[in-house]
Structure 1
Amino acid sequence: MWTRPLAVLIALAGPAAAQEPLSAIDWLGRDRSEPAIAPRAGTATGSSSTLPEREEPPAVRDARAPEVETGPIGAPEAGAAGLLPMAVTGLPRTLWEGSDPARLQSLISQADPAVPALAALLNTLMLAEADPPPGANNFLAVRVARLVETGALDAAEALLERAGPARPGLFPLWFDVALLTGDASAPCAALNDNPVLARDVGPRVFCAARDGDWPRAALTFETARALGELSGRDADLIERFLSPEMAEETPPLPPPPAPTALQFALAEAVGEPLPAGALPRAFAVAALSGDRGWKAQLDAAERLVRAGALSENRLLGIYTLREPAASGGVWDRVEAVQALDRALAGSDPDALAGALSTAWREMRASGLAVPFSRLFGPDLARRDLSGAAGRIAAQAALLSDSYEDAAATITTDTPELRFLMAVARGSDPSPSPDLPHARAIAAAFAENRAPAGPLIAIAQEDRLGEAILRTMALFSSGAAGNAGDLTDALATLRALGLEDTARRAALQLAILSEDVR
């Protein structure tokens, strides 16, 4: 049973998991005290009418024994497993129920959130407890695969554990996640007990060897190679893994362009580690421990924070481990953040203004302005800064989790900031200043703005998750320059009750699209 604190997963999902329920959806108006299945006509309380007679289908059509599905009493349905309950997300269990499974899989795999607020919302969708669409036998695997692609391996592992991953449909993902996080004990124990969990031979050989059963590992390997079931890079790496002296005597293998998790783990085991920086984001988790050096740890942390798969507090902890070892690139960001941290602890406003300007420039240029703002924005909002530093402090506060409080206290008075503060309050921000996307954003927050009708209709058909995913794609189109799409996306998020996401997304797009000054 999964025992990780719920707060960790709420942090991963971000503010999107703590919004008001979706007021535009019919399910919200239902009386939660009513039964889930309505009584038949004619059985209302106080009615004395007799139920009409009707022909019933025969209970048995032939003498064959019916097929009966069995399972442990109280075991959760794997497809509905989630880490964030409805009370946390405000999302109904019917989130996916009316959607076509193939269409959902395509929308989830192609989702490309344009701003961090939508990335947090996507994580919330993947982690929410909700029934799968009918006929979707692998929908949980689709959700887990998306979390893995994002780099959120801890959440993916916890979701698998909640569902019970020792089954053929989920085991490959469980095994890969365990290899990438560095502890394959649990999946290997399950595989050693039940070899049919893995169709491929490689995991069976690896787990047998890891369990110390070298004769079985060697026999399985040689048999599979003789039968042609194991060849190429997998065979070469496993042979070196089983024969360490061979790994020492032969030249290193060329790195594969797209390694599997098993190839990645085997390469490290035989002393030929693959550089994670050039690989998909999920492989970056291997460098977070620091075993590959501080530079690799920094690069990995930044990649994962950008995707919303790692908290900004973890990034700050890695930034402040020691003094920067060089200059340029990530070292400049480390130095800038450490200097700002020292300036915030001091009492020199000029030093703080200079450190803030440098850190903001470095973090914005590297796509880290939002995590930076979540770290420092609330503190900066309380500082007496003027000029360019005051403007930066205000923007950072509006990109933080306390953006609404900041909007009530910011004193810097410019047309741009007045616009942003109105968006933060959810009020009509017109007239629009000369900010990127300002007119489209203002239209979405105008009074009586109608959302995109087709998307609301989809949401009301027990296809809310699909409607949200389509709204994300509409927002991306708007962020690319299609003003009408941006207005419709923001208005739809608001109509669905995702007000917090709408405000954050609008603020992030307006501020981060602006030219750095």
Structure 2
Amino acid sequence: MWTRAAILCLALAAPAHAQQPVENTPPPEWLSETLLSPHGNIATTASRSEISVMPIGAVSLDAVGLLTPIQTGLPADLWAGSTSQTLANLFRDQPSMGLPAIQGFTTMLALAELNPPPDSTPEAELFLARLDMLLSRGAIDPARAMMERAGPTAPRVFRRWFDVTLLTDQPDRACAAMRANPDIAPSFPARIFCLARDGDWSAAALSLGTGEALGFIPETEADLIARFLDPEIAEEGAPLPIDLQPSPLHYVMRVAIGERPGAGQLPLPFAHADLAEVAGWRAQLDAAERLARAGAITPDQWQLIYTSRVPSASGGVWDRVAAVQRFDVAMLAQDPVGVAQTLPAAWEAMHEAQLEVPFAEIYAERLLRLPLTGDTAMLARRVALLSSSYEYVAQMAVPQSPGERFLFAIARGQSAPPAPAGAFPRLIADVFSRVEVPERFARMVAEDQIGEALLRAALVLSEEQGDMDDIQDALALFRALGLETVARRAALQLMILERRG
């Protein structure tokens, strides 16, 4: 389970079409069908419900979070002027990969404990969408913590909790919870899996036959389950066809029969399975890179895997590992000459893998303590500007070029000096020249749609080919609403990482 500190570390101007009602989006496709028509999802009338009833003292799931308003600095009524469905769709629209500062901010929003929207219902669409965004990014530990704080008894919450528990190698816990919850109706595959885990193989086989006869288990799924129940069938049969969109239940069964699919081609939540030693170091490296890019593991977790062994091959990830390890050795020795020789190659490797920010978080403070000079010192300061020490380096160091002076001004949140040549630096300079709500978002802010405006701004800043005027207004909105750290770090990342289209 992540600590609160680790969770915190994860921590409008949109075009006209982006402010229209957002289309309803489905939950992640990889979620398994572990439940059969749960009671709570059966409609009893065709008319639209207008009144939601909750027991006295009950807490809306939409209000559940891991981070209090004191921890996040966000007002508790952030959702006051928006509908649950609009907010849910905006959360599900957030990308699994994007600008790190914005990834951290939207992750914090998903984990925040806030008052539910006025139209919140027991179906908790906003809570489910927050979970789905976390899961799509591979942030399965905080998602599970959210579900367990809420109590994963509602069928649609339990469905997600069951899958996450399978992915974190706790199948017996998942099955015990399913047996103990009378409101959960497991599907035939889930029931068979849990019967087998309990050692009741005859009941599992009988359930398989019944499920096939009743048409609840298709032939391809029945083949997988039969192999799971009978090792001889698994050994004698030809390998199953590759499935690039397995459910967690199917994935666990494939692992059990020795046909473990490589998680590198699967949705991001499956990458956690490759962090285990049994997966092999190459698979661990690939998984660690994917999850670190998405902010789903801490920089320390990524670096531990990167430096755990000596690469025995070359090319691709092996070259990146070798470059970082050579630099790491120089850092451990506190050798300025060695750092000067190895930092450029390590930084280039991190740029190639889009891991600049995790790298900066690990090494920035130690780099700043070394007596570096010339180009190496400038590169070290550039690295530090991408870390949480960004303001410190801007206050303590003397800029050595107009470009560095401009970046330091952004890091301090000051009105920027004349920007370097180019339209984008001038755009950033304009953002920091004043503090005001952009005109196109004035109505949303006035109508208490602040959280919705921030989610729309986050979408703009996550686009690699976003319109420059939209980017300017999105950054300005964060500043106007007091989210100065998010605005500064996003602006620095836009300038330094150069991932704009």
Deviates more, 1:235-244 or 1:382-391: 382-391
Are 2:253 and 1:266 aligned?
yes
- Distance (Å, rounded) in 1 between the aligned partners of 2:184 and 2:310: 47
Structure 1 CA distance for aligned equivalents of residues 466 and 260 of structure 2: 42
**Partner residue, 1:130:** 114
Aligned partners of 1:68 and 1:257: how far apart in 2?
40
Question: Of 231, 237, 240, which residue of structure 1 is paired with 2:224?
Answer: 237
**Deviation (angstroms), 1:224:** 1.1
Q: Aligned pairs, how many?
A: 457
2:393 is aligned, of 400, 406, 419, to 406
Q: Deviations over 1:359-397 (max 9, x none)?
A: 011111110111111111122122222332122101001
1:325 aligned residue: 312
C-alpha displacement of 1:90: 1.4
Match of 1:511 in 2: 496
- Rate the CA distance shift 1:94–1:418 in 2: closer, same or farther, 3 A: same
Q: 1:490 to 1:68 in 2, by over 3 A?
A: closer
Shift, 1:352, TM fit = 1.2
More deviation, 138-147/170-179: 138-147
**C-alpha deviations, 1:424-480, integer Å up to 9, x for none?**
000011300136721111110003x43323434324434322111111123345x52
- 1:423 — aligned with what? 410
- Whether the 8 Å CA contact 1:147–1:153 is kept in 2: the answer is yes
2:341 corresponds to? 354
Q: Paired residue for 1:118?
A: 102
Is the CA contact (8 Å cut-off) linking 2:94 and 2:133 kept in structure 1?
Answer: no
- In the aligned structure 2, how far is the partner of 1:157 from the partner of 1:198? 21
Question: Which residue of structure 1 lines up, in the alignment, with residue 187 of structure 2?
Answer: 200
Name the CA distance, whole Å, in 2 between partners of 1:473 and 1:9.
21
TM-score normalized by the length of structure 1? 0.84
Q: 1:435 to 1:116 in 2, by over 3 A?
A: farther
Once the 2 structures are TM-superposed, how far is the Cα of residue 195 of structure 1 from its aligned partner?
A: 5.9
Kept in 2: contact 1:126–1:147 (CA 8 A): yes
- Report % sequence identity: 44
Residues 46-79 of structure 1: per-residue CA shift (max 9 Å, x gap): xxxxxxxxxxxxxxxxxxxxx99676x8664322
- Structural RMSD (CA): 2.2
Partner of 1:388: 375
Q: Deviations over 1:25-47 (max 9, x none)?
A: xxxxxxxxxxxxxxxxxxxxxxx
CA deviation after TM superposition for structure 1 residue 289, in Å: 1.3
Match of 2:444 in 1: 458
SS class of match (1:170): helix
Matched, 1:443 2:430: yes
Matched, 1:104 2:59: no
Corresponding residue SS for 1:95 = coil
Q: 276-285 vs 433-442, which deviates more?
A: 433-442
Higher Cα Rg, which structure:
1
| Alpha-carbon distance between aligned partners in 2 of 1:7 and 1:476, rounded to the nearest angstrom | 24
Q: Say which of 447, 454, 461 aligns to 1:468.
A: 454
Q: Distance in 1 between matches of 2:469 and 2:409?
A: 20
Q: Is 2:496 aligned against 1:493?
A: no
1:48-59 map, 5 Å:
none
CA distance in structure 2 between the aligned counterparts of 1:235 and 1:396, rounded to whole angstroms: 53
How far off its partner does 1:259 sit?
Answer: 1.2
* Contact in 2 for aligned 1:436/1:513 (Cα 8 Å): no
User: 1:201 and 1:225 mapped to 2: Cα distance?
Assistant: 9
Tell me if the contact between 1:86 and 1:129 (Cα under 8 Å) persists in the aligned partners.
yes
Q: Deviations over 1:266-285 (max 9, x none)?
A: 11011111110011111101
1:81 is the counterpart of 2:79: no
In structure 2, stretches of 5+ residues that fail to align are 12-50
Which of 225, 229, 236 lines up with 2:212 in the alignment? Answer: 225
How far the C-alpha of 1:144 sits from its partner, in A, is 0.8
- Of the three residues 136, 140, 155, the one matched with 1:153 is 140
Work out whether residues 190 and 249 of structure 2, in 8 Å CA contact, stay in contact via their aligned partners in 1.
yes
Correspondence for 2:4: 6
1:486-514 CA distance string (max 9 Å, x none): 21111100011110000000001100118
CA pair 352-79 structure 1, distance change in 2 beyond 3 A? same
The separation in 2 between residues aligned to 1:280 and 1:439, in whole angstroms, is 39
C-alpha separation in 2, matches of 1:513 and 1:235:
49
Aligned 8 A contact 2:6 2:298 in 1: no
Offset at residue 347 of structure 1 (A): 5.0
Q: Distance in 2 between matches of 1:68 and 1:434?
A: 57
Tell me how far 1:93 sits from its aligned partner. Answer: 2.7
Does the CA contact (< 8 Å) of 1:96 and 1:132 recur in 2?
Answer: yes
2:425 and 2:319 mapped to 1: Cα distance? 32
Q: 1:288: which partner in 2?
A: 275
- Give how far 1:293 is off: 0.1
Return the letter of the residue paired with 1:200. Answer: S
Contact 1:195 1:204 in 2 (8 A): no
Between the aligned partners of 2:465 and 2:203, the Cα distance in structure 1 is: 56
1:33 equivalent in structure 2: none
Greater displacement, 93-102 / 140-149: 93-102
One-letter amino acid of the counterpart of residue 424, structure 1: A
- TM-score, scaled relative to structure 2: 0.86
User: What is the rounded CA distance, in whole Å, between the counterparts of 1:204 and 1:196 in structure 2?
Assistant: 14
Q: Which segment is superposed worse, 331-340 or 119-128?
A: 331-340
Q: Which has the higher contact order (CA 8 A, sep 6+)?
A: 2
- Alignment CA distance shift 1:5-1:482 (3 Å): closer
Aligned residue for 1:203, secondary structure, equals helix
Q: In the alignment, is residue 212 of structure 1 matched against residue 237 of structure 2?
A: no
Q: Identify the residue that residue 39 of structure 2 maps to in structure 1.
A: none
Amino acid aligned to 1:500: T
In the superposition, relative to structure 1, how do residues 253 and 514 fare at CA in structure 2: closer, same or farther (>3 Å)?
closer
Decide whether the 8 Å contact of 1:171 with 1:198 is kept in 2: no
Match of 2:18 in 1: none
**Structure 2 contact 65–113 (Cα < 8 Å) conserved:** yes
The alpha-carbon distance between structure 1 residues 485 and 187, as it changes in their structure 2 partners (threshold 3 A), is same
1:127, CA displacement in angstroms? 0.4
1: CA distance, partners of 2:109 / 2:209: 44
Over residues 278-315 of structure 1, what are the superposed CA-to-partner deviations in whole Å (9 max), with x where a residue is unaligned?
11111101011121100100110110000011111111
Distance 1:442 1:304 in 2: 33
Residue-by-residue CA offset, 1:109-155 (whole Å, 9 max, x unaligned): 11136410000001001100123331442321211111110000101
